[in-house]
Amino acid sequence: MKKIYAIFYISLIIIVLNIGHVFGVNTTNNSSNTQVNNKTQEEIEKEEEKAKNENKNLSYLKIDGYELSPEFNKNTLNYYVIIPKDVTSLDIDTEPEQEGAIVRISGDKKLTKQENTINITVTAINGTSRTYRIIASKEPEVNLKLDSLNIDGVDLKPVFDENTYYYTSSLEDTELNDLNVNAVANDPNAKIEILGAEDIIDGENLINIVLTNEEETTIYQVNIEVDKLGEKEKEADNVITRVRKIMKYATIGIVSLIALIILIIIISIIVRKVRKKKE
């Protein structure tokens, strides 16, 4: 009888452990929700009001006709932009994230230096502030340029222009290890050096086309995203991952089912023995 009770308790533990493994994440989340719900409505409102009063973030930041680098993020304070030499002012479009906060912009006019600093200061409702900065640099005068640029099997984006120095592209399901870069400079005496076109890897590959003559150096860049596996192989990998997950949870379910069946059998045996004793 003691053996039967021992098997009974072991089966029960197995079922509980398997159910806990499957639903453990939900249990944790429910616990967190309970802690949140324990806060009074007044405490929640105070916290929300405090957050509003302290909010000194921008909701967005744009410059008409130009792209900021890096892309805007409310937690990133420093940005860069390149402008033509004849541009002396910029049209900046922005708003605070919190209504009631104040935005002040300075340095966006009279851009006469090679490097100009523009400050965007956000003052929160409680008086605290933070400053976002844009460094606006004038384009250098470039005489040494490419007359043409193409890479076999690669479509440049945007289309090649002698005054555009950065391009992107992609290659999928490729067996190429080296790329054939064809570049022609406007100076026949210029030296052209291609860097990064050999031994390309799966992922990002930055190719630099460096032009050099006695007076200056000019660099064009092409960033190529390479997918050597291709979409078919990726889909196959995803299928394998899904099958593994299904098998994992199926195993858990089978173990739980077996434990449950054993538990039912043990209960039936115990009930029969109890009945026989009563008789």
Percentage of the chain beyond pLDDT 90 is 56
Q: Is the model more confident about 246 or about 133?
A: 133
Mean pLDDT, the chain, as a whole number? 84
Rg (the chain; Cα; Å): 33
Domain 55-138 has CATH 1.10.3470: no
- Please compute the mean of the pLDDT values over residues 232-250 and round it to a whole number: 66
| Nearest partner of 181 among 230, 214, 146, judged by Cα | 146
Is residue 25 scored above 70 in pLDDT? no
Structure tokens at 31: 């616990």
pLDDT band at 27 (very low <50, low <70, confident <90, very high): very low
Q: How many CB atoms are located within 10 Å of the residue 243 CB?
A: 10
Give the pLDDT score at 267. 82
Condensed to tens digits (0 to 9), the pLDDT of residues 190-212 reads 999 999 999 999 899 999 999 99
Give the pLDDT score at 36. 46
| Nearest partner of 69 among 83, 85, 56, judged by Cα | 83
Condensed to tens digits (0 to 9), the pLDDT of residues 43-83 reads 889 899 999 999 999 999 999 999 999 999 999 999 999 99
| Proportion of the chain in helix, strand, coil states, percent, rounded to 5 | 35, 35, 30
Is residue 31 scored above 60 in pLDDT? no
What residue segments make up the domains of the chain, in order of their start?
Answer: 1-27+241-279, 55-138, 146-228
- Please compute the mean of the pLDDT values over residues 11-40 and round it to a whole number: 56
Give the pLDDT score at 230. 56
Global pTM reads 0.44
Percentage of the chain beyond pLDDT 70 is 80
Are both 55-138 and 146-228 of the same fold? yes
* Burial (CB count <10 Å: 0-12, 13-18, 19+), residue 179: buried
Is residue 32 scored above 50 in pLDDT? no
Condensed to tens digits (0 to 9), the pLDDT of residues 149-186 reads 999 989 999 999 998 999 999 998 788 889 999 999 99
| Nearest partner of 120 among 210, 60, 179, judged by Cα | 60
Domain boundaries 146-228, corresponding CATH code: 2.60.40
